[in-house]
Structure 1
């Protein structure tokens, strides 16, 4: 199926006066409604006294309605898939473990896996997992000109910008209501601006876990980064949990938790020491641990930081995510899922999942969202590691194939947060210098080819004198779909929901996509036919 919309005419033409007025309306609306960041600082103050608006687009970006609906529909299947992966210890040991898998060559992954393996051997206190997920897609132009959606990655830890993306969608609706966007495009109509309720949806997942824990007065722990600038993407979840569910939050860093966290040896209850002004007993019980940090190696600068992570994992609190679910989100897992029979194992195997199996149509829809990818360590059958090449120090088939197709590829390591991938012309020299023992840590993925389009991008200055003028640019937009899943226990049931979406837009020449790292702006969807 193809879209009749002409992406090349976007964004609509505006006069300088119209552009200036829209920028003023948008910037003041962003500041008034919490579409905010803390400004850059060597050290963030304990009590913030200033903020800047987050980067955003002036127009929503066009996205075909039938593909938007498909992405939302796929999320339910992806929720179930990744829940089942996280419950399959044998699979994760093979793909991500430090004995057979990625953990052999990636110290960060190896450290997490070894800690998780020891905790399993000792006996885990909490069988339930909570995942707040985001599946990211780009529009892809097929050879015949039709459009499809292709998955960039699936995120299982610290999925961000749910709250701010809801606010930027509201900002674009506000601009439509106040200006009509000066009737600059017939597509800019109310019915083409889909509702986005990420805050309610994501908070409902956290509340589901809290209620499953079932202790009155327990709190949810947000594990956060020190000096966090993106607090305005986190606080709305806190407010929603308090207002809708009367659930209170406590926020702490790993360093703080090293001093305050303890696990009762007989009950496995996780307690956080606090001021007696907060709780007369001097501690609070934790129902759910929600990680907004802990996904990058630099967040574990000492062995003590791993010790703190494993302490939390040992407890009875429900983790979002567990270490198993964090490992399930690995790029290597994404690559293995493209291999024959793997999806079928998780989605259609009646001996494992009985009446919970999904249809062949569900599996085929997921496969349609995959780009071709392979591990740099694979042999010529494209399934098994090239052990002979590893021993001999020669090039694996996967490396030779990546060299040949370099201009149409991206190389991805198991790293989150943006700025880690290797693209096109840089691939050959990168492969020249990649030690053979590290090849297992990288996957090659065919590049996605989005349609040509554009937008106006607005970034805040850090001082009053810096310009906030919109920059017109050729752009690429990435759609993310949010979902949650609560799963585990003896019957391995999965309760899941699809809950909303985001759009991140970047200049066409930027290979990376992180908003927090400065590559992208926040955007929203304009549905087109």
Structure 2
């Protein structure tokens, strides 16, 4: 689909209509849990107020064929990254002390603890769970060429905003049902709003791991950051686990786990010791016990160096990794999501080693490859990787081995950054060609506070949107062989940012939550 096939966006509204939509959107968001905790130097232990999450007034147009393509690819990506996580030799070579871990302290500390665990024979749980998100943008290489789908990155840890993205799509359905968007666009019809059931999709993966653990009266542990403002995105998963699957959740930070977590010497079960009065329930046999066994550890923390301010925090991660609980993700699966792995996959023959052609049709591998932009390591062939990045700086983004937004270096900032980057650290960075997104697409972006716009926080601006497809995979050793036990596509999100912004993280303050109107 050529750029010209995308409609002019957003549809034209009067100032009164913008006011009306903004009021409807923000009150709906506050009424339906599309919310954040407000900014505070220290979050109170018991929240007393919320603000609506950053949002768009209109869903963003996405070609139907590209949306379907992204969803169809997710199963292949689920299998690909599960198999990478099970390939110790590959990860040791790429991310270990002779690879990225040699020059990137964060990666190195994680890898060293995984290696220590293997050397000590301490891997007692062969099953792993991945809750994934594959992020894409619509790429328009030239005006006269069809648009295509290009992958930004693949996330293997703390793949967030699934629940709030479902709320965001419900918000746009509500605005359409209540106002018809004032007849502003023929594209805005109910059949163009795709369903979004990301909460149940992600929870199905967590529940599958819990059932595979198969010990009564266990709970799922959410490892969280202190003072988390995006807590409601996590709580919706917790509510669904309890209401749909009767599975309880415990939330703990790394610091809390340093006092509460211990591992049984014989069974290697992870147990959390807590105040027993907090768990009194006539339906639970653990009601008089302060020690709760954990079936599955779901990390919503641990993806950034700031989550490990001391070596003792890495040791807490090691303790959790050495338990019998199923990890989501394990350390190897977290390492598999590194940008260096994404770059290595583009090299000849690497993809086939994980998705052999006797298992997959050749066009499956072609379909994956066609989503990749050109990328290379800065340490490629001595100085040539750096020189190439200098020569093409205005077409590039440089990426380190980090998640969470705000870490990349873009275009005109690249030459000065390369001047200061030590040669020894080049291996930890990749260069990637920038995706050329459609021109002329806009939206109304609404953030709590409004910024003095006079439109209740709605700001009309040219935008770039990023489509994320969620999936999950339960994998590991079963029946004597390493395999993907079960996997599924699990929903989607859209994040939209002003075109002047390079970064895309919602929690980092760059993007707003959006949804989709399909364009044929």
Moved over 6 A (4+): 462-467
Contact 1:300/1:306 (<8 A) preserved: yes
The verdict on how the C-alpha distance between 1:345 and 1:174 changes in structure 2, with shifts beyond 3 A counting, is same
Offset of residue 255 of structure 1: 0.1
Alignment correspondent of 2:284: none
Is 1:31 the counterpart of 2:18 in the alignment? Answer: no
- CA-CA distance at 1:463 after TM superposition: 11
Verify: 1:406 aligned to 2:393, yes or no: yes
Aligned to 2:237: 237
Matches within 5 A, 1:352-501: 357-379=359-381, 386=382, 396-452=383-439, 453-461=441-449, 468-489=456-477, 490-494=480-484, 495-501=486-492
1:48 aligns with 2:47: yes
CA distance in 2, matches of 1:70, 1:133: 17
Q: Which residue of 1 aligns with 2:164?
A: 164
Alignment of 1:99-114 (within 5 A): 100-114=98-112
Please report how far the alpha carbon of residue 464 of structure 1 lies from its aligned counterpart in structure 2 after TM superposition.
12
Find out whether 1:525 has 2:513 as its counterpart.
no
1:286 corresponds to 2:294: yes
Give 1:6 shift: 3.2
1:301-344 deviation line (CA, Å, top 9, x unaligned): 11110111000000000000000000000000000000011001
| Partner Cα separation in structure 2 for residue 320 and residue 274 of structure 1 | 22
**Residue 465 of structure 1: how far off its partner (Å):** 12
Structure 2: how far apart are the matches of 1:208 and 1:427? 44
| Contact 2:3 2:140 (C-alpha < 8 Å) held by counterparts | no
Q: Deviations over 1:343-389 (max 9, x none)?
A: 01100165xxxxxx22211110000000000000111xxxxxx4xxx
Whether the 8 Å contact between 1:40 and 1:462 is mirrored in structure 2 is no
Aligned residue number for residue 63 of structure 2: 64
The whole-number CA distance in structure 1 between the counterparts of 2:389 and 2:199 is 41
Correspondence list, 1:43-442, <5 A: 43-98=42-97, 100-123=98-121, 124-143=123-142, 144-277=144-277, 278=279, 279-348=287-356, 357-379=359-381, 386=382, 396-442=383-429
**Alpha-carbon distance change, 31 to 466 in structure 1, aligned in 2, over 3 angstroms:** farther
Match of 1:215, SS? coil
**Counterpart residue number, 1:392:** none
Residue correspondences, number: 506
Shift of 1:493: 2.1
More deviation, 488-497/419-428: 488-497
Superimposed CA distance per residue, residues 370-411 of structure 1 (whole angstroms, 9 cap, x where no aligned partner)? 0000000111xxxxxx4xxxxxxxxx1101111111111110
The secondary structure found in structure 2 opposite 1:522 is strand
**Residue 282 of structure 2: aligned partner:** none
Cα distance in structure 1, aligned partners of 2:221 and 2:431? 37
Report the Cα distance in structure 1 between the residues aligned to 2:449 and 2:291, rounded to whole angstroms: 42
Would the aligned equivalents of 2:6 and 2:61 in 1 still touch at CA under 8 Å? Answer: no
Picking from 490, 495, 506, the partner of 1:504 is: 495
Mapped to 1, the partners of 2:388 and 2:4 lie a distance apart of: 36
CA apart distance, 1:191: 0.4
Report deviation, 1:467: 6.9
Conserved? CA contact 2:404–2:508, under 8 Å:
yes
For 1:325 and 1:373, the matched residues in 2 are separated by 22
Find the residue that maps to 1:229 and give its secondary structure. coil
Unaligned runs of 5+ in 2: 280-286
Report the TM-score, using the length of structure 2 for normalisation.
0.95
Contact map agreement 2:222 2:299 (CA 8 A) in 1: yes
Secondary structure at the aligned position of 1:234 is classed as helix
Query: Using a 3 Å threshold, how does the CA distance of structure 1 residues 59 and 125 change in structure 2: closer, same or farther?
Result: same
1: distance between equivalents of 2:241 and 2:5?
40
List runs of 5+ in structure 1 lacking aligned partners. Answer: 351-356, 380-385, 387-395
> How big is each residue's C-alpha offset from its partner over 1:92-122, in whole Å with a ceiling of 9 and x where there is no partner?
0000001x11000000100000000010112
SS at match of 1:492: strand
Assess if the C-alpha contact under 8 Å between 1:52 and 1:462 holds in 2.
no
Alignment partners' CA distance in 2, 1:33 and 1:55: 14
Contact 2:453–2:459 (CA<8 Å) still a contact in 1? no
Q: Residues 8-27 of structure 1 correspond to what in structure 2 (within 5 A)?
A: 9-27=8-26
Whole-angstrom distance in 2 between the partners of 1:426 and 1:74: 33
- Quote the Cα distance in structure 2 between the aligned partners of 1:162 and 1:462: 25
The TM-score with structure 1 as length reference comes to: 0.94
What is the alpha-carbon root mean square deviation over aligned residues? Answer: 1.5
Query: Matches of 1:207 and 1:3 in 2, distance apart?
Result: 42
Alignment check: 8 A CA contact 1:348 1:360 kept:
no
CA contact (8 A) 2:85 2:333 kept: yes
